[in-house]
Amino acid sequence: MQNHKSLSQPTLFTIFAMCIASGLVALIWIAFPSLSLRLNEGRAASREGFVKRSFITEDASIHSYRVFVPHNRSKDEKLPVFLFLNGFGENGQGAVRQLANNFGNQIWELKGRFPFLAVASQCSLHGSWTAESDDTRLALQSLHDAIKKYNGDPNHVYLTGPSSGGAGVFNVAGGHPELFAAIVPISATRPATSIDNLANTFEINSLPIWSFYNERDNVPGVVEFNEQMRLALVRKGCSPIVSVLDRDGHDTWNHAYRNPALYDWTLRQSLDKHKGSDRFALLANDGKMDLQSIGKGNWSVNDRDLLSFEPPSDGFTNHDRLDAPTLLWRPTSNDFDFHFDYRSDRQAPLHVILLTNLDNQPRSGYEIHIVPSNQGSGEIRTYGDQKLLASLDCIAQQVFLPMHWSHFRLTVNDRQLLLRINEWILLECELPSYPLQIGFLGNDGSQHWRGILGRERQKGGKGSEMNAIQLGDVE
């Protein structure tokens, strides 16, 4: 299997912010050496960049498309591939305009260190990206032509596009899921394929998804569709990453395509990795959880998948916080994944707890204290006596904006713990003992969670295999 390395994480967020402010986004890739082509002896010295290619179609016509070829690539190295579907405003002919307004700009800024083939076939003026349209057929032929010509890796093909191209991502992946290792729809308008059919297809194929859209998108239906799609996926046991940006308007692509964590995430996805992966269990939805409270404050769950906590009107004391209402999941193995989205109505920190005992009192284990970067350093401490075990990554901590949705992925393998926020590594450590329960502490401020998902892995399994999941609350 071709091994595409993941990114290392030095002071990436700071570099990222500085580069955006100065317009020198290409400097980011200096901090992401694994995103650059791995230069070594014998590597070809050619520089290619954007190339126009043409081929003869089945009806004997000539079709042209654009492909970005990584600079100084090694001709014997298989390259990961993006297939880009342009938005409606870039429809036309000539194989130029499709990259002029978004993905092409970001590739050009990073051109010296962008490791992907990027294939862009232009949608015709009145065409569409439906699963079996002529434009889609030509795009897929362009993809196969580029893979053959430039030694692309069929095991690492990713599909992306903005606006109507984002709708096309859903349509095309829904019709051809076997081709893609992951999909990245941006500001997607409502696709032609129904949400139920898409969710069924993506569940069967365990297709990784990272979508982006603006919280106040001004294109009718974008926010509604993306939330409906997210909910349908989590109810099917899928775990999409959904980044909802605190922005007005329709343009999400200038943020998404400049996010180095996105490219790190895509490089970790492959067809052979996600095929056969078992599904997650939705741990809080449709009122199925028996929510109980001790101390002050109350938990509630709505008829979708939103879990909320309301603190007492007179607030918490320090003692109250440690004895706060607690929601816990009790996995039956010490090898599991736990995913969720979080936001609060003010700058409230997030407390994730990992208990090492099954008895209700006294509690023992660990507490991960996640705070906004302007409130100090986040930490993992022992529960109760608050002994410091490790600090959170200060760069990744800057991604945490409590009043907006953040996506968390926590993995425990025996005593090894890995926690990501929006795909930035927030914490990686070895615990003194493995946790038996995992969950949340109520805190000051109204807090909300959604898409709370859990799955357990059998030892030796490449994906995960669900055991009997037990949900419980501290009584």
Is the pLDDT at 134 greater than 90? The verdict is yes
Give, rounded to a whole angstrom, the gap between the first and last alpha carbons of the chain.
49
The residue among 415, 280, 266 whose CA lies nearest residue 340 is: 280
Task: Indicate the pLDDT class of residue 360, thresholds 50, 70 and 90.
Answer: low
Average pLDDT of 181-200?
Answer: 97
pLDDT for the residue numbered 83: 97
Q: Is the pLDDT of residue 422 over 60?
A: yes
R_g (Cα) of the chain, nearest Å: 23
Of 65, 171, 162, 164, residue with least CA distance to 119: 65
Three-point CA angle 290, 294, 296, nearest 5°: 120
Q: Which pLDDT belongs to residue 285?
A: 60
Of 81-90, 265-274, 282-291, 398-407, the least confident: 282-291
pLDDT digits (tens, 9 = 90+) for 214-250: 999 999 999 999 999 999 999 999 999 999 999 999 9
With bands split at pLDDT 50, 70 and 90, how would you rate the model's confidence at 4? low
Strands annotated E in 251-402: 281-282, 298-301, 307-310, 326-330, 335-344, 350-355, 365-370, 379-382, 388-391
Q: What Cα–Cα distance (Å) separates residue 168 from each residue in 88, 139, 173, 189?
A: 10, 11, 8, 9
The maximal CA–CA distance of the chain, rounded, in angstroms, is: 77
The percent of residues in the chain predicted with pLDDT above 70, rounded, is: 79
- Distance, in Å, from the CA atom of 120 to the CA atom of 126, rounded to the nearest integer, reads 17
In this predicted model, what pLDDT tens digit does every residue of 16-58 receive, in sequence order? 443 443 343 433 433 343 443 332 323 443 578 888 899 998 8
Q: Which domains does the chain have, with CATH numbers?
A: 12-274 (3.40.50.1820), 281-473 (2.60.120.560)
Q: Which residues of 347-368 are buried (b: 16+ CB within 10 A; e: fewer)?
A: ebbbbbbbbbeeeeeebebbbb
Strand intervals (E) in 204-253: 210-216, 241-248
pLDDT at 468: 27
- Taking all residues of the chain, what is their mean pLDDT, rounded to a whole number? 81
Cis link prior to 33 (omega < 30° from 0)?
Answer: no
